């Protein structure tokens, strides 16, 4: 028994030492940056967890919340309240100007139909703001999403505003928040099929794998062969040059087939857009290199 105890102690010390090396590397990458950088890593099918000193802070999600919204919509699909092939009529009045929307660019005159499956593709993979708010309208608004997350045991996550309202006032983004710990718990539970049905999980994973935004964030320095299902978010800068949010969350598969959740938010930053994204990119590479050893 003494030998086993000694081995466990050595293993614990070794594991701590290795994790400390990752902590040191991430600290080096964020040193001197005028920003709040929050990082959390969670093994999905292997025992590993890392949280930096900001991983428990409630930070603005921006478009990352479209992942949460898609989960709530797909829950309605699972309940039979909606169907993926169900077509939704989109009025021209819903195609708001001055907001990111590939849907609007493709259909500027509006008054057309689009299936829910395609709306989810636009809202999540392409981060379409119009598509996001149409999906929210279908299920009764942000409160439906918030209540759904609470029902799934999600803590320290809140969704109050849709895209239109969130963008109407800079401070509103701070009401749609999560922590990196909560984000990773949701990613893990989602991947393991604990949030929505198997069919809906597979559908949304496919959408996340096709994400076309944020190519200079989590995915930038990872091998082209790496499987990355991710969702990005970005606030842009206000008149004072402050970036409220530059975010990315992901489920990443290692060469050995093991998967992990990674959430990185850069908040309240006075750094440039390029620097904020490079922080995320560098941390992602450091975590991947550490875990693939």
The pLDDT, as a whole number, for residue 12 is 45
Work out the percent of the chain whose per-residue pLDDT is above 70: 94
How far apart, in Å, are the Cα atoms of 123 and each of 77, 101, 140, 141? 16, 9, 17, 15
CA–CA separation, 162 and 24 (whole Å): 38
Q: Which of 94, 163, 246, 271 is catalytic?
A: 163
Evaluate if residue 101 carries a pLDDT over 50.
yes
Q: What is the mean pLDDT of residues 77-99?
A: 96
CA–CA separation, 263 and 224 (whole Å): 20
Q: What is the mean pLDDT of residues 147-172?
A: 97
User: Helices (H) and strands (E) in the chain — how many of each?
Assistant: 10, 9
The pLDDT, as a whole number, for residue 18 is 74
The string of pLDDT tens digits covering residues 185-216 is 999 999 999 999 999 999 999 999 999 999 99
Evaluate if residue 6 carries a pLDDT over 90.
no
Burial 238-277 (b: 16+ CB within 10 A, else e): eeeebbbbbbbbbbbbbeeeebbbbbbbbbebebeeebbb
Whether residue 237 contacts residue 35, with contact meaning beta carbons closer than 8 Å, is answered with no
Strands (E), the chain: 36-43, 49-51, 59-60, 87-90, 112-115, 177-178, 227-234, 243-253, 259-269
How does the average pLDDT of the chain come out, rounded?
94
Three-class SS state of 16:
helix
The pLDDT, as a whole number, for residue 8 is 46
**Which residues lie closer than 8 Å to 255 by C-beta, 6 or more apart?**
292
The pLDDT, as a whole number, for residue 61 is 98
Evaluate if residue 5 carries a pLDDT over 60.
no
The pLDDT, as a whole number, for residue 293 is 84
The string of pLDDT tens digits covering residues 50-72 is 999 999 999 999 999 999 999 99
25 is catalytic: no
Biggest distance spanned by C-alpha atoms of the chain: 76
Q: Which of 63, 183, 267, 284 is catalytic?
A: 63
79's tokens: 């309940």
Work out the percent of the chain whose per-residue pLDDT is above 90: 93
Whether residue 200 contacts residue 79, with contact meaning beta carbons closer than 8 Å, is answered with no
The string of pLDDT tens digits covering residues 11-43 is 443 355 678 999 999 999 999 999 999 999 999
12 is catalytic: no
Whether residue 182 contacts residue 210, with contact meaning beta carbons closer than 8 Å, is answered with no
Evaluate if residue 164 carries a pLDDT over 80.
yes
The string of pLDDT tens digits covering residues 113-149 is 999 999 999 999 999 999 999 999 999 999 999 999 9
Evaluate if residue 9 carries a pLDDT over 50.
no
With cut-offs at 50, 70 and 90, classify the pLDDT of residue 171: very high
120's tokens: 């989810």
């Amino acid at each position: 028994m003494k030998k086993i105890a000694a081995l466990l102690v050595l293993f614990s010390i070794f594991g701590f030492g290795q994790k400390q090396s990752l902590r040191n590397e991430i600290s080096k990458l964020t040193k001197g940056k005028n920003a709040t950088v929050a990082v959390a890593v969670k093994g999905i099918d292997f025992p590993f967890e890392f949280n930096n000193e900001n991983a428990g802070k409630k930070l603005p999600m921006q478009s990352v919340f479209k992942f949460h919204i898609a989960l709530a919509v797909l829950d309605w699909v699972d309940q039979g309240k909606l169907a993926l092939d169900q077509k939704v009529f989109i009025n021209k009045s819903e195609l708001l100007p001055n907001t990111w929307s590939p849907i609007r660019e493709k259909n500027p005159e509006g008054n057309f139909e689009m299936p829910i499956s395609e709306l989810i593709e636009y809202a999540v993979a392409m981060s379409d703001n119009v598509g996001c708010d149409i999906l929210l309208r279908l299920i009764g608004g942000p409160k439906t999403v918030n209540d759904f997350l609470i029902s799934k045991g999600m803590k320290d996550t809140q969704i109050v505003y849709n895209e239109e309202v969130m963008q109407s006032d800079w401070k509103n983004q701070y009401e749609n928040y999560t922590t990196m710990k909560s984000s990773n718990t949701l990613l893990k539970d989602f991947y393991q099929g604990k949030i929505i049905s198997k069919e809906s999980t597979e559908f949304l994973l496919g959408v996340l794998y096709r994400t076309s935004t944020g190519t200079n964030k989590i995915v930038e320095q990872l091998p082209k062969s790496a499987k990355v299902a991710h969702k990005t978010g970005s606030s842009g800068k206000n008149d004072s040059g402050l970036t409220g949010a530059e975010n990315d969350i992901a489920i990443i598969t290692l060469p050995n087939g093991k998967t992990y959740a990674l959430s990185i938010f850069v908040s309240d930053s006075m750094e440039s857009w390029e620097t904020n994204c490079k922080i995320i990119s560098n941390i992602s590479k450091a975590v991947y290199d550490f875990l693939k050893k």
